[in-house]
Amino acid sequence: MMPVDAMGAFAAGAMAGDLPPAHAAAQAAVEPDAALLASFTLYLVLVIGIAVYATRVASGSAAGFFLGGRAMKQVVVALSAVTSGRSAWLLLGLTGLAFMTGASAVWSVVGYTLMELFLFLFAAPRLRRFTGRRGDITLTDYFVSRLGGGRGLRALIAAVIAVFMIAYVSAQFTAGGKAFAGTFGLPTATGVWITAGIVLFYTVVGGYAAVALSDVVQAVFMLFGLVVLPVIAMASIGWTPMVATLRALDPSLLDPFSLGIGALVGALAIGLGSPGNPHIIIRYMSIDDPRRLRGAAAWGTVWNVLMGWGAVSVGLVGRAVYGDVEALPGADSEQLFPFLAAEYLPAFVAGLLVAAVFAAIMSTADSQLLVGASAVVRDIYLGLIRGGRRLEEATAVRVSRWVVLAMCLLAVGLLHVPGIDDVVFWLVLFTWAGLGAAFGPPLLLSLFWKGTTAAGAAAGVITGTVTTVTWYYTLSAHMYELIPGFIASTLATWLVSLVTRKPDDTDSLMADMRPESDRRPASGNQDGTCP
């Protein structure tokens, strides 16, 4: 099993498809023949068609551009949340982790699956009802509506989101560039521009609706690859010989409990990042009816389980086939998925799986680009610079599209700045854990505890971020940094909230999170006890 510090770095640096420049490994071993090009072209046609279809939703209003008009169906919300949260980490990172460590890699899947099931069932309905009734479009909008805090809280949250999202997107584009280089023999820089161009087109044209609907297509591609590939490979070598080979290599490869308690806790704790990453949370706000989130929970959980187990299965069968990481291209375990596909599948089918790698990268890049743009437009430009003065809807959409373009160019431009790779990698390394620790506790507490205050949330954001970074450089060998970061943020939010003033209309704010049939005026004291 990976040592605890390595697992922490792996989880923080690759959890949501954020493969940084130094570690992105998407160079497929498939030759760029006609069948491969046909498969990839099919994928692009689907994505472009979705963008054109979604234009009618994106062009109507800011809510349409950033939230799909709050009209997304449960299947779309479920699969979009799953794919934007997993991305290339699942196809490249987790398959490689399972190759190296065996069945114990499954605990990473268990952690985020359980957390996202909780979010779908309990947190998401409250968030969707509140934001729908208050007209909130971004996560920052929610915090300011729920807690107050005005320009100070808005500036803090928006700045953190914008900076980390740009770094996230840069890393995605780099991964896409390397995937193009390895698959089609193009220069990496050319691949970066192609990846950015595809993502930019359907995000600008179709907005959130295009992003969410394309995520559904990408989810199908990803599930296809993670289920079909291990089944075919296992069938070719036989179940019994595969198990015997793994047992001969290392019996612990077949034991999901072979990892130590520290590594187990670290793997499960990966799920703590989900409630703090805006590109996942925003999905819950976009559903057409909060009552449908239970159905979305079922879809999302099934998809998480199938894709997670599929990724672990790819790693196990790959280890049985190749025996040692030295047999993989560049001795890199993250090369397993495309390499195995090239070995065991016809060229056209293998091409679909290569498209699945691109789909995984793009499903996260587009989501992060849109979240970053919403922070700039809604929270910084409208909320801070214009002081909350509204724009006409058509103008707001036009400004949003220009901001998406600017952020896309900035993300690509960062990759051409000498020495910037280290800065981008540093930001990306802490994005999953840092955002999870910074925003997760304030969000969950504000949804379920009426005593949460703006000052408490600000303290949680700052404390969670600082603790995550500090812990990584000092004590990560003993515990994955997201755990102490999440705990510290929770304590800071709670303690500061106890000694600061909450909004005077807290009871009515909490009532806006309840179903219509249960929106009774809250009674009792105002001491901050849970509703």
Can you tell me whether residue 494 is helix, strand or coil? helix
* Tens-digit pLDDT string for the chain (531 aa): 333 333 333 333 333 333 333 333 334 444 556 777 888 888 888 888 888 887 766 656 788 888 888 999 999 999 999 988 887 788 888 999 999 999 999 999 999 999 999 999 999 999 999 999 999 999 999 999 999 988 899 999 998 888 888 888 888 888 788 777 767 778 888 888 988 898 888 888 888 888 888 888 888 888 888 998 999 999 999 999 999 999 999 999 999 999 888 889 999 999 999 999 999 999 999 999 999 999 999 999 999 999 999 999 999 999 999 999 999 988 888 889 888 988 888 888 877 777 777 777 887 888 888 888 888 888 888 888 887 777 787 788 888 889 889 989 988 888 777 766 666 666 677 789 999 999 999 999 999 999 999 999 999 999 999 999 999 999 988 899 999 999 999 999 999 999 999 998 999 999 999 998 666 554 434 343 333
* CA 483 centroid distance within chain: 18
DSSP string, 23-79: T----------HHHHHHHHHHHHHHHHHHHHHHHHHTT-HHHHHHGGG-B-HHHHHH
Q: Is 227 exposed, middle or buried (0-12, 13-18, 19+ CB in 10 A)?
A: middle
pTM for the whole structure: 0.86
**Which two structure tokens, joined as six digits, stand for 479?**
């515990």
Tell me the H-state helices in 185-292. 188-237, 239-249, 261-268, 278-285
The domain ranges of the chain are 30-415
CATH superfamily assigned to domain 30-415 = Sodium/glucose cotransporter (1.20.1730.10)
Whether 447 and 514 have beta carbons less than 8 Å apart is answered as no
pLDDT digits (tens, 9 = 90+) for 452-498: 999 999 999 999 999 999 999 999 888 999 999 999 999 999 999 99
Determine what percent of the chain falls in helix, strand and coil, rounding each to the nearest 5: 80, 0, 20
Tell me the H-state helices in 323-419. 336-344, 347-374, 393-414
pLDDT number for residue 352: 79
pLDDT number for residue 58: 61
pLDDT number for residue 36: 77
